[in-house]
Structure 1
Amino acid sequence: MTAAAPDAFVDDRLAKRNALLLALAQAIGGASASIVIATGPLVGYMMLETDKSLATLPVSAMVLGTAFGTIPAGMIMRRYGRRTGFMGASLLGAFSGLLASYAVFEDRFLLFALACCLGGLAGAFVQQYRFAAADTASDAFKPKAISWVLAGGVLAGVVGPQTVIATKDLFEPILFAGTYLAQAALALIALCLLAFIKIPIPPRRSHAQAGGRPLRVIMAQPRFLVAVACGICSYALMSLVMTATPLAMIACGLTETDAALGIQWHVLAMFGPSFFTGNLIARFGKERIVSIGLALLAGCAVVALTGIELAHFWTALVLLGLGWNFGFIGATAMLTDTYRPEERNLVQAVNDFMVFGFVAAASFSSGALLNIYGWSTVNILVFPIVVLCLGLIAWLVLAERKAVTTA
């Protein structure tokens, strides 16, 4: 026992070092997403002369980039290692920021959307930071390692909007051109941090060694279907309302700074509860926490429908973030009940691809819905989807209880 202690100490010392570096990289490089969310629709609205319904396309392009990058990110890092993949993604993130800034200067909307898509591809690697933090950790330290990276996500929610506020007028009268130069600089800072992580490349396993059931068998499980449906709806509803909110705030006479600060509070509400959401799930159950999350999403819509003052928008954004946290994390926890360890990578990749695909569709449609039907319609759409998901959860709980009773 005494001989093993030094090794364990060395392992966790490396894990703590990696987790700290990844948390800092998350706080700095991960801020890119909140920058695009806070400014992308506004930039699109300013660039478009006729069809303003396409203003949210940059955010949709970013989400699509993340969706399509999820599986390649895993393949690249399995072959070349975490550090190589993360550093390459940071370079791509820096390039996307430079390209976006150039597009803003030149007033080229489609080029700007392409730059946001490339930023989304880089963001697919950022999604892996929390898993990478656990790679070199002991079982006892893994939860803390993941929490450190989540703390970086909370900081990213502050760094991004504050970057927008500090740089939006840097090249006045060309609004937000300096913001995307700053985004590129943040990606390069993250690159320098990521150069110091040390995570060994695990031995590759053949398909025969990996084993597992066919995907169609896994997807046929009622719990899988409900978990994916609730995950999609929680994330897509959040994206639908969040993407439209900056545009709605400007249309109601509020400022770009008001919108950026609203997104900041929203992102803090998204990630802040993650430190205790797991404990709540363990105490009250996955289905109950998902239901609370869905109720909070409905509460967001209620607040948004009661007024158009700054307090209404900010309160709605906070409720939206909290609802996403409980709904999406709870649904993810439900998903873990549906696969075996050897099936984990495949099922998680398929789930993320479906989720981000629907999220991209939601963010893209939000601009058209807002432009054609108005802010009220965007929020009214939340209610039937929430009711549908709550019905699916109730059906699952009753079906599983009946199965237990019958057995």
Structure 2
Amino acid sequence: MTARRSVNRNIVVLTLAQALGAAGPPIVFSLGGLVGQRLSEDPALITLPVSLFNLGLALGTLPAGALVRRGGRRNAYLLGALLGVAGGCLAAAGIILESFAAFCLGTFASGAYAAFVQSYRFAAADGLEEPQRAKAISFVMVGGLLAAVIGPQIVIWTKGAVEGAPFAGSFLGQAALGLLALPVLLLLRQPAAERSGPRGEGRSLGAFLRMPRYILAVGAGVVSYGLMTFVMTAAPIAMVGHGHSVDHAALGIQWHVLAMFGPSFFTGQLIARFGKETITAAGLLLIAGSAVLALTGLGLHTFWGSLILLGLGWNFGFIGATAMITDCHSPAERGVAQGANDFIVFGLVAAASFFSGSLLHSSGWSMVNWVVFPAVALVVVPLLWRIGSAGSAPTLVSRTKP
């Protein structure tokens, strides 16, 4: 098999694995707060299961990167899928046993699986030159379209499958998704470049943290993913609290996740045409637009429309930020640069999701959306400055020198 065919095969495999792996988070996001509301004695802790999912995602990024470096992507991703199986089973057991702690442990393990799934987007760029990287990342993210349907539909069809334990069946369905991912991931092949190992020692983490472009890319990832999680964590609870059904909340998450991944068919082309910073800034402005819409009312279609805009903004913002990261490092430096990026992004995302529940409980749905505007401004302003002053992305020389 030629190197190019191996890369193309891996992109297809990763897209299918993304469809299965990314279907789990919508289940956690749709039901985590609702189950927490039922099992937790403290109203301020109702979103703790979702927060622990994001914490598992954050803490899993560095071990996932280390496992990829030591055993290759396929072995690491198979281990990740097994974590997904364990997480779904633990969460279901927590519901059946009415144990909030067990349920939280299950969502934490599910988050650790998600850390491996998140790195699929970087794996898609292995062995590709700079012009093809954004398109490959975007293509793998298309797998999220299937996930957007699979996850919420599992919620709707299985929420009452276990008698006397609402939603336990949905988390068993999440475990089944991890099982289905195992034979898919067995088809993954290690690129020749990875087998031979990257050349050069590369820069340290400190050098990256002194690089303005890297910091801006990380910041864009933090704000785009953090705000998406911040609002999405609160949205199902707010919807049910304002008279909408659980099914309507799950469908709202489905539309949201469809919007998250639907544009991936053309996001890579938009990045190639208009530039990474421009598309990232556009995504952040769409997230701000979703908050504007959410503040106009509490009707079902207002919630859904806001979640759709939120998903579109995440797609442009997060894929653009990911592409910016790949421009900041050489092959020898990818483990440090990518691992630190994901650790920072998802660590702050975990904090955002926990703060979301507390803020929703204390100040309401409107305040959750008001928080969006200063966070967006914090990153959009330097992005627009860079677009106006620098224009094009840096060359390979800038990626390999301090």
Q: TM-score, normalised by structure 2?
A: 0.89
Alignment partner, residue 323 of structure 2 = 333
**1:303 maps onto 2:331 in alignment:** no
Contact 1:234 1:327 in 2 (8 A): yes
Contact 1:12 1:141 in 2 (8 A): no
**1:235 maps onto 2:225 in alignment:** yes
Contact 1:29 1:186 in 2 (8 A): yes
Alignment partner, residue 167 of structure 2 = 176
Letter of the 2:101 counterpart = L
Letter of the 2:231 counterpart = V
Counterparts of 1:41-120 in structure 2, within 5 Å, are 41-49=33-41, 51-120=42-111
> Structure 1 residue 123: deviation in Å?
1.5
Kindly, what percent of the aligned residue pairs are identical? 52
**1:36 maps onto 2:17 in alignment:** no
Contact 1:78 1:204 in 2 (8 A): no
- 1:221-249, Cα deviation, whole Å (9 max, x unpaired): 32222222222111111111010000000
In structure 2, what is the Cα distance between the partners aligned to 1:360 and 1:99? 20
In structure 2, what is the Cα distance between the partners aligned to 1:19 and 1:331? 20
In structure 2, what is the Cα distance between the partners aligned to 1:257 and 1:61? 24
Q: Secondary structure at the match of 2:33?
A: helix
Which is further off, 334-343 or 90-99?
Answer: 334-343
Aligned-residue Cα RMSD (Å) equals 2.5
**Residues 141 and 217 (structure 1 numbering): CA distance in 2 closer, same or farther, change over 3 Å?**
closer
Which is further off, 312-321 or 83-92?
Answer: 83-92
Alignment partner, residue 16 of structure 2 = 24
Counterparts of 1:366-405 in structure 2, within 5 Å, are 366-397=356-387, 400=390
* Number of aligned residue pairs: 390
- 1:153-190, Cα deviation, whole Å (9 max, x unpaired): 21111100000000001124421011111111121111
In structure 2, what is the Cα distance between the partners aligned to 1:227 and 1:140? 18
Aligned residue among 155, 164, 175 for 1:164: 155
In structure 1, what is the Cα distance between the partners aligned to 2:388 and 2:228? 28
**Residues 238 and 122 (structure 1 numbering): CA distance in 2 closer, same or farther, change over 3 Å?**
same
Higher gyration radius (CA)? 1
Unaligned stretches of 5+ in structure 2? Answer: 392-402
> Structure 1 residue 314: deviation in Å?
0.4
- 1:121-163, Cα deviation, whole Å (9 max, x unpaired): 1111112334445557899987776555322221111100000
Letter of the 2:19 counterpart = A
Which is further off, 352-361 or 287-296?
Answer: 287-296
**Residues 19 and 332 (structure 1 numbering): CA distance in 2 closer, same or farther, change over 3 Å?**
closer
Q: Secondary structure at the match of 1:360?
A: helix
Which is further off, 327-336 or 347-356?
Answer: 327-336
Contact 1:293 1:324 in 2 (8 A): yes
In structure 1, what is the Cα distance between the partners aligned to 2:307 and 2:59? 27
**Residues 118 and 136 (structure 1 numbering): CA distance in 2 closer, same or farther, change over 3 Å?**
same
> Structure 1 residue 376: deviation in Å?
0.6
Aligned residue among 308, 317, 322 for 2:312: 322
> Structure 1 residue 397: deviation in Å?
4.7
Counterparts of 1:258-277 in structure 2, within 5 Å, are 258-277=248-267
Counterparts of 1:326-365 in structure 2, within 5 Å, are 326-365=316-355
Contact 2:45 2:358 in 1 (8 A): yes
Contact 1:136 1:199 in 2 (8 A): no
In structure 2, what is the Cα distance between the partners aligned to 1:95 and 1:147? 29
- 1:189-240, Cα deviation, whole Å (9 max, x unpaired): 111322333336844759xx53223332332232222222222111111111
Q: Secondary structure at the match of 2:298?
A: coil
> Structure 1 residue 387: deviation in Å?
2.1
Contact 1:14 1:136 in 2 (8 A): no
In structure 1, what is the Cα distance between the partners aligned to 2:132 and 2:213? 30
**1:285 maps onto 2:268 in alignment:** no
**Residues 296 and 12 (structure 1 numbering): CA distance in 2 closer, same or farther, change over 3 Å?**
same
Contact 1:168 1:175 in 2 (8 A): yes
Contact 1:81 1:200 in 2 (8 A): no
Aligned residue among 213, 236, 240 for 1:223: 213
Letter of the 1:27 counterpart = A
Q: Secondary structure at the match of 2:162?
A: coil
In structure 1, what is the Cα distance between the partners aligned to 2:242 and 2:164? 22
In structure 1, what is the Cα distance between the partners aligned to 2:316 and 2:234? 21
Contact 1:28 1:186 in 2 (8 A): yes
Q: Secondary structure at the match of 1:253?
A: coil
